[in-house]
Chain A
Amino acid sequence: MKKIIAAAIGAALSTTVAFAQGNYPSGPVTIIVPYGTGGSTDLTARAVAIELEKIWNSPVVVVNKKGAGSMIGTTEVTQAAPDGLTLLLNTAAITTAPAIQSDLKFDPVKDITPISLLITSPYVLVGGANVKSNDFSGFLEEAQTRPMFMGTAGPGSSSHFMSELVILGANLPADVVHFSGGGEAQTNMMGGHSDTYISTTASVMPYVNDGRVKALAVLANKRFPLLPDVQASGEAGVKGVDIEGWVALFGPGGMDPALADQINADFAKAMATDSMQKLLTDNYALAGDLSPAEFWVVYERDLKIWKDLAEKRGIGK
């Protein structure tokens, strides 16, 4: 009840009083992470929170609200006031989950304000013990003679959608196998039970560097500067799979554009610090440099791509 009243008051204030620059943040900022403590998104949030506290001179609290493919935490943010004091750090799951969860309690376009693209990295297709080829062109041939099992981190995860996109784009006779999380998908690939897995650089590169799995392709039109030896999918002639993975910042819907711009700028400052730059290098990732308006376009485009793909491939049925 208190929350609803607070939200109502917040909404009333935000529509009547225009955002005054310099006041933000007027109190402690809560960043909601819709995943468990200790996961990669959580670690990013906690590291960036430390930097933001220095910039804002104000406490920044990270709260974990995991569940339902990140939709429980996301729903909570949509119900908060758009005053910039409640923010959401989420991955591309925020665009994939609405494509298969029919009973969402919010509208992914109206009830969310995309603020800042913090981290981007390409999706990498990796192969396990049973895959013989070492690059994407070889893999495409091998996959035609021996239908592959493409492991995912679960139905509706970005690894699932990307696998479906590759199957569609390269016209592969492959089967998708759902595991419970990326860890299980990768162990099964290492053990030769499944063949491939697609995820962002941060989650696959440690195993690629171990030599347990091999990076077959960067799913992009051109090679990724941080991984110059890995073939790009575009080189092998496969189009339409060049989607980027990201970690981004969101706020509740209806946020003042000026406020969103300021938060975007503050986060850019935090991302430019040495500790965050080290985190990026460790993860083979880049800092995003889009304005809220530019990111909004990417967000809506991805929502649509996944919705169309879900319909075309019968995902979530």
Chain B
Amino acid sequence: MLDRNYRDVATGLALALIGGGSAVYALTHYALGTVKRMGPGMMPTSLGVILAVFGLIIAVPAFFESRKEIDVRFRALVILSASVLSFMLLIETFGLIPAVFSTTMIATFAENKVPLRRGLILAASMSLLTWTIFILGLRLPISAFDWPF
């Protein structure tokens, strides 16, 4: 392996890809219009091209720089995403309290610092707290418990 700044190479290329992709998509799907009356494609196309250029400006010099350490923690990413997604799935079917309970509970697993029993206590108190604030206090139109069937 060559000693290169892969982080910036990847960053720059990703930006170039997003920019280029958007520009091509906009160009093929939306009208550019005239100078007087610009069409819906003008802005996304030009922004895409500019972004692609910036991407290359970031990527190219990085080929000649030395490697930088990066630290990605997939465990936290996966567990916290699951926690948020559980909220999304439960809020409209089972209601606020089950959603809050599961979000809190799953989130505590992202680190090993919260023992299960304390996690349960935390989840229960969060459920009570959010119920008090949002349903009792602010009267948001969300039901505390719901049943989908």
Interface residues, chain A, CB within 8 Å of chain B? Answer: 1-2, 317
A1 touches B148 (CB 8 A): yes
Name A63's closest neighbour in chain B (CB-CB).
Answer: B141
Which residues of A have CB within 8 Å of B31?
A: 317
In whole angstroms, how far apart are the Cα atoms of A317 and B148 in the complex?
43
In whole angstroms, how far apart are the Cα atoms of A1 and B148 in the complex?
8
Name A1's closest neighbour in chain B (CB-CB).
Answer: B148
Chain B, range 20-58, C-beta contacts under 8 Å to A:
31
Q: List 3 A-B contacts (CB under 8 A).
A: A1-B148, A2-B148, A317-B31
Least CB distance, A7 to chain B, in whole angstroms: 16
Please report whether the interface of chain A is mostly helix, strand, loop or mixed according to DSSP: loop
Name A5's closest neighbour in chain B (CB-CB).
Answer: B149
Which residues of A have CB within 8 Å of B148?
A: 1-2
Least CB distance, A220 to chain B, in whole angstroms: 31
In whole angstroms, how far apart are the Cα atoms of A317 and B41 in the complex?
12
Closest A-B pairs by Cβ, 3 of them: A1-B148, A2-B148, A317-B31
Least CB distance, B34 to chain A, in whole angstroms: 12
In whole angstroms, how far apart are the Cα atoms of A1 and B93 in the complex?
9
Per-residue CB proximity of B65-89 to A under 8 Å, as 1/0?
0000000000000000000000000
Which residues of B have CB within 8 Å of A1?
A: 148
Which residues of B have CB within 8 Å of A317?
A: 31
In whole angstroms, how far apart are the Cα atoms of A1 and B149 in the complex?
9
In whole angstroms, how far apart are the Cα atoms of A317 and B31 in the complex?
8
Least CB distance, A5 to chain B, in whole angstroms: 9
In whole angstroms, how far apart are the Cα atoms of A270 and B110 in the complex?
58
Which residues of B have CB within 8 Å of A2?
A: 148
Name B146's closest neighbour in chain A (CB-CB).
Answer: A2
Least CB distance, B66 to chain A, in whole angstroms: 50
In whole angstroms, how far apart are the Cα atoms of A2 and B31 in the complex?
41
In whole angstroms, how far apart are the Cα atoms of A2 and B148 in the complex?
7
Least CB distance, B36 to chain A, in whole angstroms: 8
Least CB distance, B92 to chain A, in whole angstroms: 9
Least CB distance, A240 to chain B, in whole angstroms: 25
Least CB distance, A314 to chain B, in whole angstroms: 11
